[in-house]
């Protein structure tokens, strides 16, 4: 049996030069360094309409939602970097989670979230690094059966925190974010042993 942890990594941002896309890739590298298999996705590549039960009733689950759910179901762990918009998570992230929570015919409720373990992080131009948004994201994920590890990372002043190659200028922060990915991988490996 293959016990290699499988982790899905993504940011709650569609912006091309997103700090959070860079951040989650650092955590993903940390998970890969300890043997995890990481799949990085960009929500820009999976545009989803605003969640609407009438649309779901008339047209079914949109194709990109099905793709996103299939990816989530195929992975045991989640690395999520969430920008903070007005002290909460982004609309694109909340929308993706809301759509993924919808059961397909014959599918168990919350199939994309049950028994998942997540690590969350944020990068923000502000002084708190997105911490207020992580409170909401943690609460939401825990309420839909995701175990969110206590460790998290928030990078403040993100506009000056990253090198042009996407790494963090502060080597201690770089190491801490990589460690977050590695810790998630380690927990998943222990749970599957």
* pLDDT tens digits for range 27-65: 999 999 999 999 999 999 999 999 999 999 999 999 999
For the chain, the domain total comes to 1
Average pLDDT over residues 126-141: 95
pLDDT at 96: 98
Look up residue 76 and give its DSSP letter. Answer: S
Q: What is the CATH number of the domain that holds 102?
A: 3.40.50.360
Kindly indicate the confidence band of residue 91, based on its pLDDT and cuts at 50, 70 and 90: very high
Domain extent, residue 177, equals 6-192
- At residue 15 the predicted structure's pLDDT band, cuts being 50, 70 and 90, is very high
Q: Is residue 1 part of a domain?
A: no
Provide the whole-model pTM: 0.96
At residue 1, the pLDDT reads: 41
Please report whether residue 125 resides in a domain.
Answer: yes
Cα–Cα distance between 3 and 44 in angstroms, integer? 31
Does residue 38 lie in a domain region?
yes
- pLDDT at res. 46: 98
Q: Is residue 148 part of a domain?
A: yes
Q: Angle, to 10 degrees, between the axis of helix 19-33 and the axis of helix 171-192?
A: 50
């Amino acid at each position: 049996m293959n016990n290699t942890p499988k982790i899905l990594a993504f940011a709650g941002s569609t912006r091309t030069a997103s700090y959070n896309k860079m951040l989650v890739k650092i955590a993903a590298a940390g998970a890969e360094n300890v043997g995890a298999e990481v799949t990085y996705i960009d929500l820009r590549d999976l545009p989803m309409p605003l969640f609407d039960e009438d649309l779901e009733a008339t047209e079914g689950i949109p194709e990109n939602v099905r793709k996103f759910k299939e990816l989530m179901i195929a992975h045991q762990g989640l690395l999520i970097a969430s920008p903070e918009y007005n002290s909460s998570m982004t609309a694109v992230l909340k929308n993706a989670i809301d759509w993924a929570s919808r059961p397909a015919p014959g599918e168990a409720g919350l199939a994309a979230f049950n028994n998942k373990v997540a690590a969350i992080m944020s990068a923000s131009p502000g002084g708190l690094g997105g911490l207020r948004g992580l409170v909401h994201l943690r609460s939401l994920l825990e309420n839909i059966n995701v175990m969110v590890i206590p460790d998290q990372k928030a990078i403040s002043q993100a506009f000056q925190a990253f090198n042009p190659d996407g790494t963090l200028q502060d080597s201690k922060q770089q190491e801490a974010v990589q460690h977050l990915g590695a810790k998630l991988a380690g927990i998943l490996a222990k749970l599957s042993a």
